[in-house]
Structure 1
């Protein structure tokens, strides 16, 4: 009977019948057979057959078939150690953690491999606490862990950030004699300590290991790279090469990132050469790290060349390229590559979209940013903190406070990054009180401010003229143990005090800094320029020249100061010096985006195709604003001209041309006008735009080099303090 049944089972291959139906058919045969005979050979044949079926389930990764086989095995009563463990593995391969654990608990006995598989499965599914608890149960049942068990447990403790537990697992490895003898354990320990931020422990384990392999060295390199110690990462890499151990693609990937972080192009090129020699240049991780390294070393063309050579760039590669382009200030190319990425059907992630939003915010492309916002919503990333902070920053830098606040309020979880973005948005747009209110709310939300927060709220006080509030925030945070205020914070305070006329206090504050830099003294000089304080300005100029003899900005400021005080002989002398050293002032320019096209204007430049219409609109506006009381402020003409020529010069400022053009192009619309300028808006233009906003009855939003101005109904959001 058993021999005949075995033959039947071996020949039972009918492709048209599903695995489930085959099981049901065989169960009917089996029930009759077992009732007729309790032959052990018969049961063995069934076990053998069902084992083969389980292997098919594993190959197909079919959860339904695995469950069907499980049910038949239970019904037949043949859930042996061998069949049970194979079925357990099938559930793991099918990805069902519930079925796998339920069967695991039902098994009368378990192989060590089943314990390891279940623990590893938990770790892979980020159920690290369950993995650790199962390991504890394993030991309590008298089953000793091996190198594979410990490797999974190390990962579990590192994922949970449990240093004490990790050290306990390390102790178990020592007791079992696996710490130094097994390369798998040694590498796992190094990786665990590196992820826990304990690089000294990682290095000690590596030093004791007898079997140093590429995995161990790579774990060390990655650890030092991730914790910002590029020098030691390079030392480990060199040590590995000197030992004759060949780097793998992950070693190369990490060390190239290190070279990029260190801006060390010479070493980066040497590593590139080793990568080519090793034959791993075409590995995706290697190419991604290569283009990242070149981008961080400001060699964007080399980065693009590496990318062009890639046959099938993936999401990570596209993202690395776009991030690198944005960080290198190549926003236009980054946006172009993003469009290519979408066309290639590669899906962006939160980092991709955050970088693209950053590019849009730097270029002040509001409409493009709105389209990316739509993608953020489409991909369900509107709750992501990085994308959320980038959206707040975008709308803030485009002057859309309402949208920025709307995005901020929709964030599921607030953190210091999103709070900083919103505070900076308020600061840049002159909403000082709102920024301070949000800053004070951080404590109630349990969010600890950092040095970026302090910088943003001080900037808010700067742009709103909130001198006393700024002084109080600065005083209460200058000795905070959680962070150290930098020269930038002091420069912000010097600007705050200097702009309101408290120049002596500003100068004294600079002297408190251990080593004042050019920025601090130039900030004081700029404040002296506003108040016409020549003597202090000359002292500040002397300090700057000692630190940076060829500083261009200082000479421009001094020339403007002398011109504003009518000291034309000094202006002539200063300009003569500037010509001798071939110094050129940055030309003032303004631009405006109309119907997805950017139009750029420079002072006195009538080369625009619509110059006739611009001039007509400008003349109309000048006539209207004069009737409302506008008087040209010729103090802002830094040339020795007669009054009439000075007035004509003021009418040709770039921001006036941009506004005239925008009003003519949108004459049938009621939307806001947004213009941008590369330098600070002058006092005369500021007054003129206020009158224009009243004449046309439309909001005019102007972003200059320092901040936003929202002009509406004859008033500006800055309260005439900027």
Structure 2
């Protein structure tokens, strides 16, 4: 220890340039020991500059170690030594900040009689970095009031604080100060921060004006402008800025390339995207993670998922953003199973998912109706504390709604920290899809109390709820109110199709046809919707008008031909059915084969009508025959109106017995015996009326809840009743594009 003291004393007395290799703590122990041995006279006689150099060196060592303890010791020793003066204490403030001691830094900062601009900037930027922008702005205001002039570093920080808090007026005032000080035009650093601030305010005209005035433009400024245009959906302007930057000879960096590739993806402009890809490689940023991530996003948004996967495979160490981008891209391109597989790889690679990752894989699970997988992801969401916030929470509401579990959806919804329009729409849609129209309307009416304004998605969901539950009066009232008084958004084809369907199913076909003519006489979807309603009510003449309108718009539309064939079949006009089917064959139109599937013991089993290919076919058909016998004894009678083929009555009955949903249900009942567990059946087309009636009887016979999801909605069967209240059971003489009403 004494040898160390001699070296320190030599340093203090001779002004040597380097301290002996001791830690700050060892130095201070040495000095403390020196004072205790009455040798302080040698120390106190040292010049101010030597002491300053000594403490500055100790502070630098402390910063390298990021030791808050050492910073406190240095501070204590400075106070005892009497060398408490401005330069050292400003440096010590900076050390506290870099060691994470914001409380100590602020206390020391407030005690200083005078403060350098560097200390003000350090405090302001630190507060912003830890998301405490209000305190940063308070310090900025205090700084100006104390007569300290802000510099370019002050402005670059404080503009960010104003934008994060959305303080437009205060941001403009600070902009004015920068103009007075001559920093707006002359300093690209300040100019870039201003562009970024105005872009985040959504004021792109102001951002562009600032950018145009800056004399010495750099890549940061151009990139900030491109990002701003991207964020506000103006990809064309973003491309224009990028082109101007290249013309001015300013080289793009990896963040510029990343931003402009996102622009190309948003615009689905593959041609420009490939040109930018070439520039990325030529500029040496081909292996930069930011560029590669934006590149795979661009290809995914342009529908080239194979190219996107190839780019991802070339990223040596994909980070959280890269994994999330490829998963999101796969979901957007209907590759949900592969997205879930990639998510598993991500977890195995020890990469922590964020809310965007989790919301995407939840979306994948809901699209596939994979409830058990969704529950597992829900557990992961809860582990990271994201189940009550933002995107992940809303995605969970959507998941359970689309899997027919509205109670779980409502449980997640009620636990959300903040209910926004996305989560509200998800819950209303969940109720709508599951046939709980009154619950959907109740939630819709509660929106104003929560301070939420409905948007186009809300209105579509609530109209769907009215349609599925047969709430014609309520649906018409909402539609008329929005149509006549709303100025916030325009009603779309989907809204009108929903109302046409609502009118049609309730027998108000003339009103449905009149609405189509008022809205768009050239919309094939609306005419096909009316055509379905005509089949329900046997309105052949109106159906023929609708078909002619639809085929004038899209002559080769397969769905229209098949629907009209079914209209003729439902009215027993078999000669017209033969003629329509002949036309369908001549045009080589294809129809989606009807199928149903069920998930048993985490394995999906798929069935088609009369399908004997399943390895357990014998057991399935035995179970089915047993069920048919039991439900027949309870009063079930096959409804041969749903057979749209010219069979005799007995064959019509037999064809109904082996529909795909009946086979799926028989298999599920044979494989499971727990009456407390619901059975979930899924179908790619709509369920037919006969199957609907049959499943009601089965639910009573077996004493279990049966949930059936078809192409449009859910039916919850329990104790011989369905959640739709039989509104759809008496109006199911329809099919979208199926050759047979149900499964043939």
TM-score for both structures, normalised by structure 1? 0.97
Cα offset for 1:137? 2.2
With 565-574 and 512-521 compared, the bigger mean Cα shift is at: 512-521
Mapped partners of 1:359, 1:284: distance in 2: 25
Q: Is 1:628 matched up with 2:634?
A: yes
Aligned to 2:9: 6
CA distance in 1: counterparts of 2:137 and 2:505, whole angstroms: 61
Displacement of 1:47 in angstroms is: 3.0
List per-residue Cα deviations over 1:185-232 (Å, max 9, x = no partner): 111111111111000011111112211111111111100011000111
- Higher RCO (CA 8 Å, separation ≥ 6 residues): 2
Q: Judging changes above 3 Å, is the alpha-carbon distance between structure 1 residues 4 and 270 closer, same or farther for their aligned structure 2 residues?
A: closer
The 3 A distance-change label for structure 1 pair 77 and 531 is same
Measured in 1, the distance between the counterparts of 2:354 and 2:567 equals: 50
- Give distance in 2, aligned partners of 1:106 and 1:251: 43
Q: Which residue of 2 aligns with 1:673?
A: 679
Residue 623 (structure 2) aligned to one of 617, 626, 629:
617
Give the match for residue 430 of structure 1.
435
Unaligned 5+ runs, structure 2:
729-744
Aligned counterparts of 1:413 and 1:402: Cα–Cα separation in 2: 19
> Contact (CA 8 Å) 1:23, 1:69: kept in 2 or not?
yes
What is the match of residue 201 of structure 2? 196
CA distance in 2, matches of 1:34, 1:200: 68
The SS at the match of 2:686 is coil
1:488 aligns with 2:491: no
Partner of 1:468: 473
Residue 425 of structure 1 and its aligned partner are, at CA, apart by 0.7
Counterpart of 1:599 in structure 2 is: 605
Match of 1:641 among 647, 657, 668: 647
Give distance in 1, aligned partners of 2:218 and 2:388. 42
- Alpha-carbon separation, structure 2, partners of 1:684 and 1:328: 35
The Cα of 1:25 is off from its aligned counterpart by 3.0
1:292 paired with 2:297, answer: yes
2:623/2:666 contact within 8 Å kept: yes
Q: Partner residue of 2:530?
A: 524
Q: Residues 6 and 45 of structure 1 are in contact (CA less than 8 Å); yes or no, is this contact kept in structure 2?
A: no
* Cα offsets for 1:658-717 (capped at 9, x unmatched): 111111111465421100001110011111111111111111110001110011111111
Alignment match, 1:664:
670
Cα separation, partners in 2 of 1:587 and 1:51, compared to 1, 3 Å: same
In structure 2, what is the equivalent of residue 583 of structure 1? 589
More displaced, 505-514 or 414-423? 505-514
Q: In structure 2, how many angstroms separate the alpha carbons of the residues matched to 1:100 and 1:403?
A: 48
Which residue is equivalent to 1:174? 179
Aligned pair partner of 2:84 in 73, 79, 83: 79
Alignment partner of 1:591: what SS? strand
8 Å contact kept, 2:8–2:19 = no
Alignment partner, residue 262 of structure 1: 267
8 Å contact kept, 1:27–1:76: no
Task: Rate the CA distance shift 1:5–1:97 in 2: closer, same or farther, 3 A.
Answer: closer
Q: Whole-Å Cα distance in 1 between the matches of residues 559 and 712 of structure 2?
A: 16
Pair 629,39 (structure 1): closer, same or farther in 2 beyond 3 Å: closer
Q: 1:507: Cα distance to partner?
A: 1.2
- Taking a change above 3 Å as real, the CA distance of residues 212 and 43 of structure 1, as seen in their structure-2 partners, is closer
Query: How much does 1:108 deviate?
Result: 2.7
The aligned counterpart of 2:357 is 352
Q: 590-599 vs 278-287, which deviates more?
A: 278-287
Residue pair 1:254, 1:289 contacting (<8 A) in 2 also:
yes
Structure 1 residues 621 and 351: CA distance shift in structure 2, 3 A: same
Task: State the SS of the aligned residue for 1:228.
Answer: coil
Kindly indicate whether the alpha-carbon contact (under 8 Å) linking 1:693 and 1:714 is maintained by their aligned counterparts in 2: yes
Partner-residue secondary structure (3-state), 1:41: coil
Kept in 2: contact 1:314–1:346 (CA 8 A) = yes
Q: Partners in 2 of 1:684 and 1:14 — Cα distance?
A: 89
Alpha-carbon contact 2:528-2:550 (below 8 Å) kept:
yes
Higher mean Cα deviation, 139-148 or 246-255?
A: 139-148
Q: Where does structure 1 lack aligned partners over 5 or more consecutive residues?
A: none
Q: Deviations over 1:602-654 (max 9, x none)?
A: 11221111111111111111111111111111111111111111111111211
Q: Indicate the residue corresponding to 1:185 in structure 2.
A: 190
CA distance in 2, matches of 1:547, 1:573: 21
Query: Residue 510 of structure 1 aligns with which residue?
Result: 516
Contact 1:676/1:703 (<8 A) preserved: yes
Does the alignment pair 1:230 with 2:235?
yes
Q: 1:61 to 1:35 in 2, by over 3 A?
A: closer
Cα distance in 2 for residues equivalent to 1:36 and 1:169: 51
CA distance in 1, matches of 2:580, 2:540: 14
Question: How many Å separate the matches in 2 of 1:6 and 1:22?
Answer: 11
Q: How many residue pairs align between the two structures?
A: 719
Label 1:38 to 1:558 Cα distance change in 2 as closer, same or farther (>3 A): closer
- Name the residue aligned to 1:456: 461
1:51 aligns with 2:56: yes
Instruction: Give the superposed CA RMSD.
Output: 1.8
- 2:344 matched to which residue of 1? 339
**Which of these residues, 680, 689, 695, is aligned with residue 689 of structure 1?**
695
Which residue, out of 106, 122, 134, partners 1:129? 134
C-alpha contact (below 8 Å) 2:675/2:703 kept by paired residues: no
Aligned CA distance change for structure 1 residues 196 and 491 (closer, same or farther; 3 Å)? same
Q: Aligned partners of 2:351 and 2:158: how far apart in 1?
A: 35
In structure 1, what is the equivalent of residue 392 of structure 2? 387
Per-residue CA deviations over 1:481-508 (Å, capped at 9, x if unaligned) read 2222222111111111111100011111
Give, in whole Å, the separation in 1 of the partners of 2:28 and 2:563.
89
Aligned counterpart in structure 2 of residue 561 of structure 1, from 551, 564, 567 = 567
Q: 1:420 is matched with which residue: 410, 418, 425?
A: 425
Are the structure 2 counterparts of residues 586 and 38 from structure 1 closer, same or farther at C-alpha, using a change threshold of 3 Å? closer
**Aligned partners of 2:375, 2:8: CA distance in 1, in Å?**
70
User: Cα 1:272–1:5, aligned 2, differ >3 Å: closer, same or farther?
Assistant: closer
Counterpart of 1:706 in structure 2 is 712
SS of residue paired to 2:46: helix
- Give the TM-score, by structure 2 length: 0.94
